[in-house]
Amino acid sequence: MEKTYIMLKPDAHKRELMGEIISRIERKGYNITNMKMMHLTAKTLKEHYAHLIDKPFYPELEEFMMSGPVVGMVVEGEGVVLGMRNLMGPTKWWDALAGTIRGDFSNANDLSANLIHGSDSVEKANEEIARFFPEGEVTI
Ligand code: IDP
Ligand code: MG
């Protein structure tokens, strides 16, 4: 079954929207197979956002992503990589239609604050799942 890496960003925690977003993922019919709250380091962010390091906004993005906890998840389902991108809506809130997570809940001046990350390909999903869930399934 296809898997993707989803991450609720610090604004989702701060605005108490984590439950709402998780609920939308579940109601769509996807299966959340792993989930944990984390505080990200600059080192991890530089790996995760390697494609953006040279952008002028990168320092702000890094600071934003370290401004509070994130919640990482592995989400499983048929076509879930594209399906989650559709559920999220596009990066910029003004492009995101009502009915999407970003369309319904984001309009911040800080363009980093768009609530949620989702892998953009199956290949990236596998890379990101290995980065954020190296422990796999936890038994304690
Ligand atoms: P995505 O999250 O929709 O895949 P990416 O282009 O991969 O979008 O960018 C990663 C994240 O970087 C975005 O979700 C957003 O938080 C932040 N970002 C993207 N473009 C800008 C910008 O122009 N200014 C500030 N932050 C940005
Ligand atoms: Mg991206």
Contact 38, 132 (CB under 8 A): yes
The pTM of this model reads 0.97
The Cα–Cα gap between 73 and 7 comes to 6
Is residue 140 one of the residues assigned to a domain?
A: no
Average confidence score pLDDT of the chain: 98
- The secondary element (H helix, E strand) that includes residue 35 is strand 31-38
80 within some domain = yes
Our answer to whether residue 117 is catalytic in this structure is yes
The residue-averaged pLDDT of 19-32 equals: 98
The answer to whether residue 137 is domain-embedded is no
Q: Is residue 8 part of a domain?
A: yes
* Domain housing 24: 3-132
CB 12 within 8 A of CB 116: yes
How distant is the alpha carbon of residue 139 from its chain centre?
24
98 assigned to some structural domain: yes
- Whole-Å CA distances, 127 to 4, 121, 123, 133: 10, 10, 6, 10
Q: Report, as an integer, the average pLDDT of 13-35.
A: 98
Phi/psi of residue 11, nearest 5 degrees: -70, -30
4 Cβ below 6 A of ligand 1: no
Exposed, middle or buried by CB within 10 Å (0-12, 13-18, 19+), for 85?
middle
Residue 46's pLDDT band (cuts 50, 70, 90)? very high
> What pLDDT score was predicted for residue 69?
98
Please write the tens of the pLDDT for every residue from 102-134. 999 999 999 999 999 999 999 999 999 999 999
Q: At 44, is the secondary structure helix, strand, or coil?
A: helix
Distance 48 CA to ligand 2 centre (A): 9
Q: Is 48 in the pocket of ligand 1 (CB under 6 A)?
A: no
82: CATH: 3.30.70.141
Domain total in the chain: 1
CA distance 127 to 49: 12
